[in-house]
Amino acid sequence: MTLGLSVQDLSFTYGAKTALDKVSFTVEPGRFCALLGPNGAGKSTLISLLTRLLVASHGDISIAGHDLRATPRRALAELGVVFQQPTLDLNLSVRQNMSYFAALHGLPRTEVPGRIDEALDRLDMRARGDEKVHALNGGHRRRMELARALLHQPAVLLLDEPTVGLDAAARQSITKHVHDLADQGLCVVWTTHLTDEVRDTDALLVLHKGKIIESGKTGDIRGHTPLSDWFLSQTGAKA
Ligand SMILES: Nc1ncnc2c1ncn2[C@@H]1O[C@H](COP(=O)(O)OP(=O)(O)OP(=O)(O)O)[C@@H](O)[C@H]1O
């Protein structure tokens, strides 16, 4: 059993269409795992299953040692999620957005201000706490969403293509911040179709047509070939 994320023999179909086919992998605490897959590979389906928006007919998911099917509340309490589409109220301040989320999670009121400070500090965002979200640029909004996802101190952080729509500098900054969180002990799963977001030391899972076709340390998998070329040769997709 891992205190990170474990997925075993997970399959999902939409009617006759198989979206995931016997997917198994484990991500340990303190690891940054890039889940790389071209369009249609099954990434969104996997995210929906991990967050319980969909329920799998076959297979098991465990989050920080809690089985998602048997004990969903405990399992989901250990999961922080940054969805692809921003989910912020632009007319509220950073702190107000975070307080609302803390209330949804049922965090004790007396603890909330301290938890917000701590989470904002981890993303270098404390100075922006009282600003309305609409005044922030795209990169800072994403960092705020990341800080918000850490408020309830999850063991596993799941990010669904979190750099979509950001410029190069903001992409680099978010990628670095999330690698730092993994270095601090968080179990991170980062889905992407962009190979330049993946470091050689990252764990890599390559999803293609609903199957994991490769897993291991990125540097070992790509060898001397640039990851983008390797990915193209395996999936036919440019990244
Ligand atoms: N509601 C649905 N009904 C039928 N088929 C679906 C449905 N949603 C997804 N699929 C199919 O399941 C497969 C996996 O789709 P999924 O959206 O999970 O892939 P993805 O890797 O997230 O792709 P993208 O990056 O384009 O979002 C695809 O072949 C897709 O066409």
Whole-number Å distance between alpha carbons of 94 and 121 = 13
The pLDDT score that the predictor gives to residue 87 is 87
* Alpha carbon nearest to ligand 1 atom 7, residue: 14
pLDDT tens-digit map of 143-193: 999 999 999 999 999 999 999 889 999 999 999 999 999 999 999 999 998
Does ligand 1 have an atom closer than 6 angstroms to the CB of 14?
Answer: yes
Does ligand 1 have an atom closer than 6 angstroms to the CB of 49?
Answer: no
Kindly list the distances between the CA atom of residue 200 and the CA atoms of 75, 101, 206, in Å, as whole numbers in the listed order.
30, 35, 14
Which two structure tokens, joined as six digits, stand for 167? 């410029």
Distance between Cα 106 and ligand 1 center (Å): 33
The pLDDT score that the predictor gives to residue 86 is 86
Provide ipTM, 2 decimals.
0.96
Does ligand 1 have an atom closer than 6 angstroms to the CB of 42?
Answer: yes
Distance between Cα 18 and ligand 1 center (Å): 9
Domains of the chain, start order:
1-78+165-239 (3.40.50.300), 84-153 (no CATH)
Distance between Cα 229 and ligand 1 center (Å): 24
Cα 161–chain centre separation:
8
**Which ligand 1 atom sits closest to the C-alpha of 44?**
22
- For the chain, list residues with pLDDT below 50: none
Task: Give 14: exposed, middle or buried? Use CB within 10 Å, 0-12, 13-18, 19+.
Answer: exposed
